[in-house]
């Protein structure tokens, strides 16, 4: 996984480096908020870990800027790392666009749990609230929605890949757009992120990144379909 | 009964979810699948509230707002526009075109329903 770590303390940087190497993640370290924003504008990450207190620009402001600018990490989960455990600070982190909160000292297993939770194909919180809103995961309404989502998603992915092979960028952008909109309701952030990049590149006629994005999308959508498909009732619509 | 709410969105998943949420709060809902239908159904059904996705093929939401302004024929529903997270619309601009409020997708259901309640209340008074 690609992880951006914004942390000014050299000792903590070293600890993070060890954790991440052990877990097999690729990391980029930014030594202050300003550099974190710059790094986030250049490359898409799966997760961003953000220290609260840093020189130049603090974690809150860096998170706000990443959410506000039109970069590749608008939707990337941002996890705050902070010394404080007060509810008011938690609230400030959320308002700045951060998704989770770990208090220091950070333990390896806690960190890994948060990374796994936030980097999976689906944000469990968003999916749970959708299911609750639709009357529960076994309700006919949710099952109908899920069936149609799974079917449309397979169809859009297939069409996108075909259009890309034919060089029809306008249609690639269209299918990426549809995939992005629908998957957002299911909390499928990574799919959303990749589709956003794909749509942008395809609309600009920018060919270079498209193949790489198509490979990521294929992998991600299949992971998403597997996870969501588990909730499908046997009697539900299949394929 | 005439629909109180017209939902104009091209995305099937989005439509299913929003329709269900609105019906659960006791509203009757009609669906327009693109901007063109959105304009004609607004004029025909005269809903109290129009929920309008900005980002649609055929005819986008901004153009729907412009058309409704030009040919509203005395009927103006309350209008809530839906804008995408990655390319949020300029709220002042959509309001100057006749929308009353805006939410950014994906949104929390509670936030969406609260805005709906406010608009329905305003529309009814």
Instruction: Tell me which of B13, B53, B112 to substitute to probe the interface with A (most A C-beta atoms closer than 10 Å).
Output: B13
- From the list B13, B17, B4, B6, the residue with the least C-alpha distance to B108 is B17
State how far the Cα of A146 lies from the Cα of A237, in Å rounded to an integer.
Answer: 9
Residue A185 forms contact with B (CB below 8 Å): yes
Identify the pLDDT of residue B1: 55
ipTM of the complex: 0.77
Helices (H) and strands (E) in chain B, counts: 5, 5
Of the given ranges (A16-20, A52-56, A106-110), which has the lowest mean pLDDT?
A52-56
Identify the pLDDT of residue A110: 87
Mean pLDDT over B11-24 rounds to 91
> Is the sign of the CA dihedral B73, B48, A178, A189 positive or negative?
positive
pLDDT tens digits, residue range B49-97? 999 999 887 788 999 999 998 886 667 899 999 987 666 678 899 999 9
Cβ distance A133 to B21 less than 8 Å, yes or no, reads yes
State how far the Cα of B124 lies from the Cα of B116, in Å rounded to an integer.
Answer: 12
Residue B84 forms contact with A (CB below 8 Å): yes
- Nearest C-alpha in B relative to A73: B86
- pTM equals 0.69
Identify the pLDDT of residue A82: 84
| pLDDT for residue A236 is more than 60 | no
| pLDDT for residue A49 is more than 90 | yes
Cβ distance B55 to A177 less than 8 Å, yes or no, reads yes
| pLDDT for residue B44 is more than 60 | yes
Cβ distance A148 to B20 less than 8 Å, yes or no, reads no
- Nearest C-alpha in B relative to A185: B106
Residue tagged 């991440």 (tokens):
A20
Identify the pLDDT of residue A56: 77
DSSP state of B53: E
- Nearest C-alpha in B relative to A178: B11
- Give chain B's largest Cα–Cα span: 37
Omega before B106 cis (within 30°)? yes
pLDDT tens digits, residue range A154-177? 999 999 999 999 999 999 999 999
Q: DSSP 3-state assignment of B14?
A: helix
Mean pLDDT over A107-136 rounds to 85
- What is the edge-to-edge ordering of all strands in the sheet holding B49-53? B29-32, B5-8, B49-53, B78-84, B101-105
Residue A70 forms contact with B (CB below 8 Å): yes
- From the list B103, B44, B91, B36, the residue with the least C-alpha distance to B67 is B36
State how far the Cα of B72 lies from the Cα of B78, in Å rounded to an integer.
Answer: 12
């Amino acid at each position: 996984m690609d992880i951006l770590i914004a942390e000014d303390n050299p000792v903590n940087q070293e600890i993070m480096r060890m954790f991440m190497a052990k877990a097999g993640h690729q990391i980029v370290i930014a030594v202050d908020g300003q550099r974190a924003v710059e790094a986030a504008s250049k490359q898409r990450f799966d997760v961003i870990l953000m220290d609260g207190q840093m020189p130049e620009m603090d974690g809150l402001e860096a998170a706000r800027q990443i959410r506000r600018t039109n970069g590749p990490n608008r939707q990337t989960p941002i996890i705050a790392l902070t010394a404080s455990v007060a509810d008011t600070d938690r609230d400030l982190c959320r308002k700045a666009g951060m998704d989770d909160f770990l208090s220091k000292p950070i333990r390896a297993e806690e960190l890994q749990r948060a990374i796994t939770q936030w980097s999976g194909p689906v944000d469990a919180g968003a999916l749970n609230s959708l299911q609750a809103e639709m009357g529960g995961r076994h309700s006919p309404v949710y099952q109908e929605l899920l069936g149609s989502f799974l079917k449309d998603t397979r169809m859009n992915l297939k069409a996108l890949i075909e259009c890309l092979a034919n060089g029809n960028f306008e249609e690639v952008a269209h299918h990426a757009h549809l995939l992005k909109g629908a998957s957002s309701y299911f909390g499928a952030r990574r799919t959303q992120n990749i589709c956003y990049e794909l749509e942008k590149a395809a609309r600009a006629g920018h060919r270079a990144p498209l193949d790489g994005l198509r490979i990521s999308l294929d992998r991600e959508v299949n992971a998403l379909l597997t996870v969501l498909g588990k909730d499908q009732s046997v009697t539900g619509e299949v394929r | 009964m005439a629909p109180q709410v017209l939902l104009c969105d091209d995305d099937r998943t989005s439509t299913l979810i929003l329709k269900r949420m609105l019906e659960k709060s006791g509203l009757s809902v009609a669906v327009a699948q693109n901007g063109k239908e959105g304009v004609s159904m607004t004029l025909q059904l005269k809903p109290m509230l129009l929920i309008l996705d900005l980002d649609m093929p055929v005819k986008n939401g901004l153009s729907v707002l412009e058309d409704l302004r030009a040919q509203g024929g005395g009927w103006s529903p309350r209008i809530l526009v839906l804008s995408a997270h990655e390319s949020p619309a300029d709220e002042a601009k959509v309001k100057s075109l006749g929308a009353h409020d805006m939410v950014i997708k994906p949104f929390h259901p509670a936030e969406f329903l609260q805005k709906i309640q406010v608009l329905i209340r305003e529309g009814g008074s």
